[in-house]
Amino acid sequence: MPIKSYYLVEPEKRGVIRPLKENYPFTTVDFMGIIEAPKSVLNFALGYEQKITKKIKLLGSIRTNNSYNQGNLSSLSISQTFWDMWHFSVGGMYKKMRSDIFAGLSYCRGFGNLEPYVVLSNPQEKMLLQGELYETKALFRSFSFSLGYNYHIKSSN
């Protein structure tokens, strides 16, 4: 169930174009106000660890990172992303005495809608010489490689 929209940041309302007219009704709230309206999301994660030998383990995981944001309610936002993402990871761990060495590969796939910040085609005076805004489907992919090392210090107890 979504939360009713609210101003996270609401500046004092002042005109930014003088004089304020029907053609230019923009105020500081339009340019600096941050509106949020988070929705409920369900994220999950699942991890797997399989011992291959006494010193080697295979690791794997899958997790979601669904966006709580319902879209651009204002041009500014504190949300990291408006996209829903899936993360897949696989790797291994090698144990040697008091050390662990990790290596892994990760793949992330995200998707969602994207609205450009500026449209320069077909400029219009009422849009401050920008074109009509539009929304497009966006796809995000990333690959990463991780390498890690742990050294276990002996306890003084």
**Residue 38 belongs to some domain of the structure:** no
Tell me if 13 is assigned to some domain: no
Mean model confidence pLDDT for the chain: 80
Q: Is the separation of the CB atoms in 132 and 118 below 8 Å?
A: no
Cβ neighbours of residue 20 under 8 Å, at least 6 residues apart? 27
Q: Lowest-pLDDT range, 4-18, 32-46, 68-82, 122-136?
A: 68-82
Total number of domains in the chain: 1
Residue 108 carries which side chain, given as an amino acid letter?
C
Rounded to 10 degrees, the C-alpha dihedral 108/114/119/122 comes to 130
Question: Given this model, what pLDDT does residue 103 score?
Answer: 97
Tens digits of residue pLDDT in 134-147: 777 878 899 999 99
Whether residue 149 is predicted with pLDDT greater than 70 in this model: the reply is yes
Q: Out of 52-56, 138-142, 153-157, which region has the weakest mean confidence (pLDDT)? A: 153-157
Number of CB atoms found within 10 A of residue 83's CB = 19
Q: What percent of the chain has pLDDT over 90?
A: 34
8 A C-beta contact, residue 74 and residue 95: no
The residue among 43, 7, 55 whose CA lies nearest residue 28 is 7
Q: Tell me what pLDDT residue 147 has.
A: 96
pLDDT digits (tens, 9 = 90+) for 80-108: 567 788 999 999 999 988 899 999 999 99
4: in domain: no
Does residue 127 fall inside a structural domain?
Answer: yes
Asked if residue 21 is part of any domain, the answer here is no
Which one is predicted more confidently, 68 or 16? 68
Q: Is residue 57 part of a domain?
A: yes
Q: Is 27 inside any structural domain?
A: no
Q: What is the pTM of this model?
A: 0.64
Residue 104's closest CA among 42, 58, 50, 54? 58
Range 56-68 burial, b when 16+ CB lie within 10 A, else e? ebebebeeebbbe
Expressed as residue numbers, the domain containing 119 is: 43-151
Burial of residue 44 (number of CB atoms within 10 Å: 0-12, 13-18, 19+): exposed
125 belongs to a structural domain: yes
Confidence of residue 75 (pLDDT cuts 50, 70, 90): low
